[in-house]
Amino acid sequence: MKITTFIGSSRAESNSELLADLVTKEIKHRKLYLRDLAIQPIHDLRHKEGGFQPVEDEYDTIIHAFLESDVLIFSTPIYWYSMSGSMKIMIDRLSQAIRDERFPQLTERIQSAEAIVLAVGGDEPKIKGLPLIQQFRYTFDFLKLPFSAYILGEGNRPGDILQDREALMQADLLNQRLKGAN
């Protein structure tokens, strides 16, 4: 079972990354730091003659991760009640990726994986993070990607997440399940 974690935070050792580390503790996995990848915002050319044009950036790294993973973990800080801009830029480009003739197998491959969302915020994330979860749900539904679990953790200052006992227990439960499946 291959696991990829997409790290959406802009800072090192972010709370959302810490939470992801707990979920993948002692399990082989790969981490992609979105802040370190050069990814262009999508240019929507669906309705233009010729359609989408090739983009010179590092988005293929993302596509390959989708192609190779059985578990896709989206780890993001909650910025303004939504995912980080870097993660949104990455998600937006999926519209182009699923139409990319170089990867005809992408759509089907995604459907056999599972998605997990880990989001950490400082302003009542367990309530105000709910719209974000609903959006991920609509997105995964569109992709027919099973949405197996999410955790909304609380944290603001570095390390805060380690005080959120509920999030820690949820992470531990997920970790046990992923270990068992390995």
Q: By the criterion CB under 8 A, which residues form the site for a copy of itself?
A: 9-11, 14, 35, 41-45, 47-48, 77, 79-86, 88-89, 91-92, 94-95, 123, 126-128, 130-135, 137-139, 142, 147, 150, 157-158, 165-166, 169-170, 173
Looking at beta carbons only, is 40 or 182 nearer to a copy of itself? 40
Looking at beta carbons only, is 2 or 35 nearer to a copy of itself? 35
Q: How far is the CB of 124 from a copy of itself (least distance, A)?
A: 9
Q: How far is the CB of 106 from a copy of itself (least distance, A)?
A: 16
Check if the beta carbon of residue 79 is closer than 8 Å to that of residue 8. Answer: no
Q: How far is the CB of 128 from a copy of itself (least distance, A)?
A: 5
Looking at beta carbons only, is 28 or 127 nearer to a copy of itself? 127
Looking at beta carbons only, is 41 or 104 nearer to a copy of itself? 41
Looking at beta carbons only, is 57 or 138 nearer to a copy of itself? 138
Q: How far is the CB of 45 from a copy of itself (least distance, A)?
A: 7
Secondary structure, 3-state, the chain:
CCEEEEECCCCCCCHHHHHHHHHCCCCCCEEEEHHHCCCCCCCCCCCCCCCCCCCCCCHHHHHHHHHHCCEEEEEEECECCECCHHHHHHHHCHHHHCCCCCCCCHHHHHHCCEEEEEEEECCCHHHHCHHHHHHHHHHHHHHCCCEEEEEEEECCCCCHHHHCHHHHHHHHHHHHHHHHHC
Q: How far is the CB of 101 from a copy of itself (least distance, A)?
A: 21
The identity of residue 177, as a single letter, is: R
